[in-house]
Chains A and B, each alone.
Chain A
């Protein structure tokens, strides 16, 4: 089961900032928050990840609350091509191998309109 909760859908006007929230209240101290998006059934595209500090790259910014129980992905100037399903993921560790797999929930369907 996914360890995150996201709204099922959001709308955003083109050119405006899109702020996508995610709750991960059971996150452990060493678990990272990852964001991926999937555009129309293509392969998931990596966006950004973080542990406890805010992160920024050429695609987006990630704001993680001080208690790490929630985070927000910010697309500063949304375009029509940002219409996609956005997945917030907490990597889940394996007791046997230490391997941490990605557990995808249902994500947030972001619709960017002209």
Chain B
């Protein structure tokens, strides 16, 4: 019974490159959430997706960040033209539905921008 899977676990990029973070939800879960954790801070909500739909992206930076959850395959968080301030841990969570359903988190992807 695999949990939420994220890859890569560690990602190093140079400024200006693109970062792609992948998240496979738990089996039976069709709702995915992305959170970002800056060093020494708590997690901050970024975006909530269902299959093929973005439901709430109120926490996403307006530029360079995008997310998708296609009908087939994992959810992708894409960061274009990364800057040093994007260095953080990015966590994905999933749930069966959003109505009072518990979110289960993956191990995270640690992005380092040089």
A101: CB under 8 A from chain B?
yes
Among the 9-residue stretches A16-24, A36-44, A63-71, A74-82, the one with 4 or more Cβ atoms under 8 Å from chain B is: A36-44
Interface of A is mostly: loop
Interchain pairs with CB closer than 8 A, number: 58
Q: Are A32 and B100 closer than 8 Å at their CB atoms?
A: yes
Number of interface residues of B (CB under 8 A): 25
Give Cα A53–Cα B91 distance, bound, in whole angstroms.
30
Give Cα A7–Cα B14 distance, bound, in whole angstroms.
38
Per-position binary interface string of chain A over residues 77-114, scored 1 when its CB falls under 8 Å from any chain B CB and 0 otherwise:
00000000001000100101101111111110000000
Number of interface residues of A (CB under 8 A): 25
Chain B residue contacts of A45, Cβ below 8 A: 105
Give Cα A104–Cα B108 distance, bound, in whole angstroms.
16
A-to-B contact residues, CB < 8 Å:
2, 32, 34, 36, 41-46, 49, 87, 91, 94, 96-97, 99-107
